[in-house]
Amino acid sequence: MEWSDLKIFLAIARFGTLGAAARSLRLTQPTMGRRLRSLEASVGQTLFQRTTEGFVLTEEGAAVLAGAERIEEETLAMERILAGGSRQLGGFLRLSSSDWFGAHVLSPVLAEFSQLHPKVVVELLTDSRLLSLPRREADLVFRIQPFTEAEIISRKLIHIKYGLYIRRGAPHPRAFDGVGARLVTMDQAFGDMPDAGWLQRLLPRAEIAMRSNSRDVQATLCANGAGLAVLPRPLGDSLAAIELVDLGEAPPGRDTWVGYHRDMKRLARLRALLDLVIERLTH
């Protein structure tokens, strides 16, 4: 197996489609398809499932990915040495987080990381789905649920406080009442979230006006007068159009966890990004 074949494999694994992978390597899509078929034939394994949404790694492909990324890291290090000893990092990282956390917490750190390491391409996926680290759907995942998989290295990153918000200047409801109040809350698929139960207990007579699984959407609806919303403080406090409501008891906060596959622990670009995230968010 040649390095040029591994570069094609890595591009398809990262971009998910032949077209996007071909553009990243400045090759044609037919060439990419032909090279992938040749690679799979040479290793005697199907490395990707072909789906309507793109290419998804098989178990064999995920195993190849871990080794290919180590080879990539060593190759890039050798290229830096041959180019004159530059220690500049390069490569690709795919991150996953919720929409609001990516926009309001991670983005400033990622912008700083990009200034420090301009040759590292970071892709941030903000998705309500829990992307799989074992299946290598992402390299680094931020989420509110602890990781339980044995092959995942994880840590609690930060505790996020939440608050109840209303459009600035609007009348505040009374605790343990809520008559006349309208709520913007999570959709029914997320009805077991702690803040949903908190709202029912603190404002039992309030009416639900709107639902959304996006905290950013909830914040925009709240700012435009649709109703009260429980929001993460980093999001709610950043918006001048809304203000905190004090009911004598704050909504429950949430812990955010970060995790990555143990095969990635020696990947220099991942370590550099994780170190910066921890430094900026936990100090």
Contact 76, 4 (CB under 8 A): no
Q: How far is CA 220 from CA 5, 134, 223, 224, 225, in A?
A: 47, 35, 5, 6, 9
Q: Which pTM value belongs to this model?
A: 0.71
Q: Kindly report, residue by residue over 215-239, the tens digit of the pLDDT.
A: 999 999 999 999 999 999 999 999 9
Spatial neighbors of 35 by CB under 8 A, at least 6 apart, are 5, 8
Cβ atoms 139, 94 nearer than 8 A: yes
- Alpha helices, DSSP H, located in the chain: 3-15, 18-25, 29-43, 59-82, 99-101, 107-116, 194-202, 215-223, 233-236, 268-282
Q: Which two tokens stand for residue 149?
A: 């998989």
In the numeric block, which tokens belong to residue 115?
Answer: 């200034």
| Per-residue model confidence as pLDDT tens digits over 107-150 | 999 999 999 999 999 999 987 666 667 666 788 999 998 998 88
Strands 152-160 and 254-261: antiparallel
pLDDT given for residue 48 in this prediction: 92
* pLDDT(191) > 90: no
Which residue's structure tokens are 């180590």? 70
Locate 215 and state its tokens: 């905290």
pLDDT at 85: 47
Nearest CA-CA partner of 266 in 54, 86, 69: 69
The pLDDT tens digits for 88-107 are 688 889 999 999 999 999 99
Closest CA to 3 of 76, 55, 54: 76
Contact in structure between 137 and 14 (CB atoms under 8 Å): no
Mean pLDDT for the chain?
89
261: β partners? 152
Cα–Cα separations (whole angstroms), residue 205 to 47, 90, 181, 200:
55, 55, 8, 8
Q: How far apart are CA 283 and CA 280, in angstroms?
A: 6
Residue 195: in which H helix or E strand, if any?
A: helix 194-202
